[in-house]
Each structure stands twice: as structure tokens, then as C-alpha cells.
Amino acid sequence: MEFTVVENGGVCSPKGYRAAGVTAGLKPSGQPDLAMLVSDAPAVVAASFTSNLFAAAPVEWDRKIVRQETPVRAVVVNSGVANACTGVQGAQDAKVMASYAAEKLGIAAEEVLVSSTGVIGKMLPMDIIRHGIDLAVESLSTDANQKAARAIMTTDTAEKRIAVKMTIGGKEITIGAMTKGAGMIAPQMTLCTSHPRQATMLAYFTTDAAISRNALQDALGRALDNSFNRIVVDGDTSTNDTMVVMANGLAGNAEIHRESPELDEFAAALEYCAQYLAKAMVLDGEGVSKFVELRVFGAIDDASARQVAEAIARSPLCKTAWYGQDPNWGRILCAAGYSKVPFKPTQVDLDFDDVPIVRSGLAAPGTTDEEMAAVLKNRSFRVKLCIGQGPGRFVLWTCDLTHDYVKINADYHT
């Protein structure tokens, strides 16, 4: 790798970014609930949003901005209320959230992206939002990596952030990022060009690289496909999923274009950050006790491999077996068997880490129950399924289904 991880990094690590995380008063707990991120210079933006038909009002606002292909300067994010299923009033509130922040920052409303996460169907309390924006603007700082990352959390138990740096064309370039998301996680984001992609996970990336919009978008697409779009916590795809990358060019490098040899290096670094954060989201998923890397091989094509992997990742029986540390491999084969992907049961092999579990559709000879169970005692393990049909493969990161997941979601009252 051509990049190094920045210690204690985050969205303020690249040049020219300030952030804030404050308590506006949306959360009954009194925890921080409003974050702001501001670039000192106009930033090229690429973004990706949920494919859910009930895309939230802030998502609709952001899509409009991103499609204009004009630079942005700021992002405002609140947690606690999702501003989804809120109709005309919700659209108005998203716009007011942007324009109020713009006014306080002395920029245009069209330079401000907004995001919300929390309960669906409630109107944003705009007085509280305005109060939060006031507080955020006052406390903007280059030292707010942690504060901003905390203010966007909902059921997350830990903040999620990272930054990396590299040298491109003799200049030091930094990428910073923060993300949130623990439940309602099965992002299916589509790229926001004229054709938007879709994530309630929220992810904000900043960089001081000079990079063209098209090149940034390519890098975002690659990062997304290899990170957030291949994680499943509960299989519910949110109304608010958002991934945004801002690039303000303050590193002073020669602009990276689609044809630049440097794009691959930049994209690899962005992908690294996205994948790190995506895995962190699964590890911090609601009630999660097991992190499972699901590798499906031998499908006719990658899409078929993905379909099998998703059936397993969404199966309550597979997920509860993992929680129980039970090598009940029949449930995994069963889920593959109803995934609607054709294959021959007699050609199926399954491994847990490097322990053979199934060979040719039957219990692997020689593997003991103790060997199987030993793998499942780990907090993190690999499930590798080969269906013996072709070269198609897919890797997906998922988790178990636990008592705490039920507790969190049966108790998360509106």
C-alpha cells in the first residue's frame, strides 16, 4: 500500500476542513446530536444515496445539489430524527436546515448538504435544529474528528473514523472519514450522477486532493462497491443511507483526472478507508457478538454468488446459530438452497476458516464437532462456500442475530 494511516484521524485530517459535534437537544439522552463539517475552499463532491423509494427529505435535497455538479462547502447532520416520510413539510425543513447553516457560514444554501438519521415519520423540530447549527458554527475546529463522529451516532456504541495519507505528484494528500450505522443496515446505494446510487448508514469522506468530479465519482463507486454495499447487519435497507466525498484541492497536487495514473492510487486509499469503516459498522452492529466474512465461490457469475451470500447473511437461522456458536452447517446449506441460484448439492464445499465442514454436499470426513465449534468461539471468522458452477465469487461482511438485537429494536420506541 502506498498510503499510511494517520493516528487519531478523521474528517479534519485533510487540509482545510473544520468540524463540530454539539448537543442540539434532539436526543432524550442528551448525547451529541448535530454535526457540521466545513471546507475552507469550495469542494468537488461525489455522493451516493439509498435506493429505498421512501428516500428521506435530506437525501432528496442532497441529490439535487450533487446533480448540479457545483462545488459544496459544508455538511450538516442531525441524529435522532430521520426526516423521512415527512412530505412537503420535510422537504421544506431540509431546505431550511441547509439555508440556515449557509446564512450562518456566509455561503449559499446550494453549497450545503444535509443528512438526518433517527426515527422515521416525525417532523424535524426546527427550533432545536437552528439552535444546534448556532452552537456548531461557534465551535467549528480543526480538532473535532472525534466530536463530529460522535454526534452522528444513533445506536452505535463507538465512533467510527479514520484518515490516511499518501504522496501523489510530490504532494502529500490526505483522506479523512467518519461514518455511523448499527441497525437498518443493508445498504444498496446507487451513485449520484444523473443516476444516483443509494445507504441508515451515513458516511462522510474529506480529502484535500485536487481531483475532477468524474474521477472522484469513479473512486467513490469503487470504494462503495467494495465496502458499504457488501455489508448486512439486519437486511433492512434504510431510507437515509448516504455516502459523500468532498475534495477541496488544498493539497496543491496537479488535478487527478479519470485518465491519471494516480487515480488508482487515490481510489485504493479511499477504498481502504471505506472498507475499514464498513467492517467497523458490522462489528458495532446492533447487539453483534460475531463478525462473519462470508465468501461464496464457484457461482456462474458474481451476481449469483452475491445472491447466495445475501440469502445466508439474511437468514435468522444462520445468524442465531452463529450467536449460539453452533456449527449447524445445515442451516447455511439450506439458505443457499433457497436462494434461487441454481447449483448441484453434490458439488458444494463449506469451510469455517480453514476447517473443512462440507465436502461434496456431505459432512466433511474427519472433522470433529470440537474443531468446528472452536472456530465459532472466535469473535470473527470466515464462512467459505463453494457451489462448484463457475468463476463467480462474492465477499460479504455480516454478523449474528442476538438477544441484544431484539432488545435494542423492540425497545427503540417511536
Query: Which value, to the nearest 10 degrees, does the dihedral of the CA atoms of residues 74, 79, 83, 89 take?
Result: -70
Which span (8-16, 31-39, 52-60, 67-75) binds a copy of itself, by CB under 8 A?
52-60
Q: Is 61 in the site for a copy of itself (CB under 8 A)?
A: no
What is the CB neighbour count within 10 angstroms for residue 315? Answer: 21
Among positions 52, 116, 253, 260, the unique one binding a copy of itself when judged by CB under 8 A: 52
Residues present in the chain in total? 414
Which helix (H) or strand (E) segment is 322 a member of? helix 316-323
The smaller minimum CB distance to a copy of itself, of residues 7 and 88, is found at 88
Which one of 50, 200, 237, 242 is the catalytic residue? 200
What's the DSSP call for residue 197?
Answer: -
Q: Is 329 in the site for a copy of itself (CB under 8 A)?
A: yes
Which span (18-26, 93-101, 254-262, 335-343) binds a copy of itself, by CB under 8 A?
335-343
Binding mask 245-284 for a copy of itself (x = CB under 8 A): ----------------------------------------
By the 10 Å C-beta count (0-12 exposed, 13-18 middle, 19+ buried), 402 is classed as: buried
Binding mask 87-106 for a copy of itself (x = CB under 8 A): x-------------------
Among positions 31, 54, 172, 275, the unique one binding a copy of itself when judged by CB under 8 A: 54
Binding mask 63-82 for a copy of itself (x = CB under 8 A): -------------------x
Which helix (H) or strand (E) segment is 148 a member of? helix 145-151
The smaller minimum CB distance to a copy of itself, of residues 26 and 178, is found at 26
Q: Is 229 in the site for a copy of itself (CB under 8 A)?
A: no
392-to-196, 221, 309 alpha-carbon distances in Å: 26, 20, 12
Best CA proximity match to 152, nearest among 202, 192, 197, 108: 202
Among positions 167, 188, 193, 380, the unique one binding a copy of itself when judged by CB under 8 A: 188
Cell numbers found for residue 188: 444498496
Could you give phi then psi for residue 253, rounded to 5 degrees? -75, 160
Among positions 22, 34, 37, 84, the unique one binding a copy of itself when judged by CB under 8 A: 84
The smaller minimum CB distance to a copy of itself, of residues 30 and 338, is found at 338
Q: Are strands 189-191 and 231-232 parallel, antiparallel or unpaired?
A: unpaired
200 has catalytic annotation? yes
Buried/exposed code over 125-163 (b: 16+ C-beta within 10 A; e: otherwise):
beebbbbbbebbbeebeeebbbbbbbbbbbbbeebbbbb
Could you give phi then psi for residue 371, rounded to 5 degrees? -65, -45
Among positions 226, 275, 328, 367, the unique one binding a copy of itself when judged by CB under 8 A: 328
Instruction: List residues binding a copy of itself (CB under 8 A).
Output: 51-55, 82, 84-87, 119-121, 183-184, 186, 188, 234-239, 314-317, 320-321, 323-324, 326-331, 333-338, 342-343, 345-346, 358, 360-363, 369, 401-403, 405-407, 409-414
Catalytic positions: 200
